Structures are given as C-alpha cells and as structure tokens.
Structure 1
C-alpha cells in the first residue's frame, strides 16, 4: 500500500483545466481529468479494476509508451509487480514531453512528470523491491539450508517420529575346522 504522504503528494492539489491548452479533439478539462485519473491510479498502487479501456487508450498515447497490443498486455507489462511499476515510472519520468500542447498532451505530461518526481513514488517502489527481494532470497536460503545442511542430531524426537533402535551386529560363527589325523593323535 502506497504511504499516505506519497498518495497525497500525487493527488493534491487536483489538476485544474486552466493549466492546459485545448487540442482539436480534447478540452483542457479532458486533459485535467485524465491527469487526475492517472495520479489517482498511481496513488492507489495501480488497481486493475481502475485500468479501463478509455484510460488505457489515452495512457498508451502519452509519455512515449506503446500500446502493447491491448489493455491486458499493457497492464501485465507495467503494473503486476513492483519491478514492472518501477519500469513504468522510469519510462514516464524519463520522457521529454515533446510536442505542441495544442496538438498533444505534452503540457499535461510535464505536470504529471513533475508531480510524480516530487512525490517520492519511484524511490518508495525501489525500497519496496529491495525488501521483497531480500525476503524472497532469505526464504530460499532457509529452504536450501534445510535441504543441504540438515541438523546432525535432532534436539528432541517428536511424538510422531518413531524411535528405531540401533541395529545389533550379528556375529557369524567361524566355519568348522576340519580335523586331521595328526590332531587326533597329538
């Protein structure tokens, strides 16, 4: 879960239409609505139920992202793991926001990039990934140690562990010795 301070830094203040220029197809209010939806999506840690087709279509045309064939492919590429989210944020933050705001969402992109950068979201995801990796690796180490370095003597047998006595060595009798004539008369 995204910390409240980061979520607040992403979402507040809400983006207002007067910050943006209209395009031939989209109003400043459309740009602000998309920006607020994107920032809310990130602040809520990218819930799948909020990743609808209209949102995807706009996002896949911003920040230099490509469509990844469909809404499911885009979501699976960028939002199913912490490492994926880091990749999305790095690509978004690294995008130079080219284009004329009268024809693109570049004015909105600049504002969103600044907001994400100031929020600390990328650093939080990087710390989270470090913790996830360490936890996973420690669990793997424990499994491998249990497999390859078992305890030489169990501390106390459990009730379900049968106690098996040590095997008793069986001595084999010496083969009978054949007596000779000389043994009889000596």
Structure 2
C-alpha cells in the first residue's frame, strides 16, 4: 500500500494541458491525460485494471520502452512485484528526455519524472522490498537452523516413511549378506 502522503505528492496538483506542447498527432490535453494517468497508475500501486490499451500504447513509446512485444509482456516485466516496479521507476528516473516537445512527449516525461522523484515513491518501494526480503530470509534461516541444528524446541518434523527405513548398506556389507 502506498502511503497517502506519497499519493498526494504524485497526483496533486493535476498536470495541466497548458504546461505541454501539442504535437502533430496529439494535443496538449492528450499529453496531460497521459501524465496524469501514469501518476495515478503508480499511486494506486499499478493495478492491472488501470493498465488500459490506450495507456499501454502511450507508455510503451515513452521513457525508452520500445522493445516490449505486447501489453501483457510489458505489464509482467514492470508491474507484477516490487522488484520490477523498482526497475521501472529507476529507468523512468534515469531517462534523459530526448526530443523536441513539438514532436515527442519529452515534456511530459520530464514532468512525470520530477513528480516521481519529489514524491519519494522509489524509496518506498525499495524499503518495502528490503523488508519483505528480510522476512523471507529470516524464515528460511529458521527452517535451515531447525533442520541442521535441531534442539528440543525446534526439532524438525519427523517423516515416518523415512524414519522406519533401515540404514543404507555399506560396501563391505553387500557381500556379507550373500547366502
């Protein structure tokens, strides 16, 4: 869950069309719509329901994301877990804003990147990822400790099928069992 303060920094105030230069194919309203849609998508923690075709088509042509095959692959690569969201945010923040705003969305990319940076969203995801990794590592450590250093408190569960089996034979014992 994204903290409310981060959501406010991402989404308020709305990006205004007057701040963007129209292109030959898109109006400044189109540019403002995309910027606000991306910020809202991130503020909602990237739900699949907000990843519309219109939104995907524009996002796949911004921030250097031109090498993905389709909407589903793009979503899987960048929005399924915190690790991939961190990668998306890092790429977005490192993008150098190529092109003239008369022909590209570089002005929107610059505005969105500034909002993301100012909001602290990347730091939230990094902290959340680090916390989850630590929880998983501590659970794994406890399992391994119980397995390899059992004590009366943390004795591993016994498996009756393997406990009842005779010990494996040693090489010398193979010939001793002959009739």
Higher helix share: 2
Q: State the SS of the aligned residue for 1:22.
A: coil
Q: CA deviation at 1:67?
A: 4.4
Give the alignment's Cα RMSD to 1 decimal: 1.2
Show the 5 A alignment for 1:81-120: 81-120=81-120
Matched, 1:41 2:41: yes
CA distance in 2, matches of 1:144, 1:91: 37
Post-superposition shift, 1:73? Answer: 0.3
Partner of 2:16: 16
**How does the TM-score come out when normalised to structure 1?**
0.80
In the alignment, what sits opposite 1:70?
70
Q: CA deviation at 1:154?
A: 5.7
Q: 1 CA distance for matches of 2:61 and 2:26?
A: 13
The whole-number CA distance in structure 2 between the counterparts of 1:66 and 1:123 is 26
Equivalent residue, structure 2, for 1:161: none
Q: Which runs of 5+ in 1 are unaligned?
A: 156-186
Q: Please say which structure displays the higher CA radius of gyration.
A: 1
Correspondence 1:29 to 2:29? yes
- Whether contact under 8 Å (1:32, 1:108) holds in the other structure is yes
| In 2: Cα distance, 1:7 partner to 1:154 partner | 45
Cα distance in 1, alignment partners of residues 31 and 52 from structure 2: 17
Q: CA deviation at 1:66?
A: 2.3
* C-alpha distance in 1 between matches for 2:66 and 2:79: 14
Structure 1 residue ranges (4+ consecutive) displaced by more than 3 angstroms after TM superposition: none
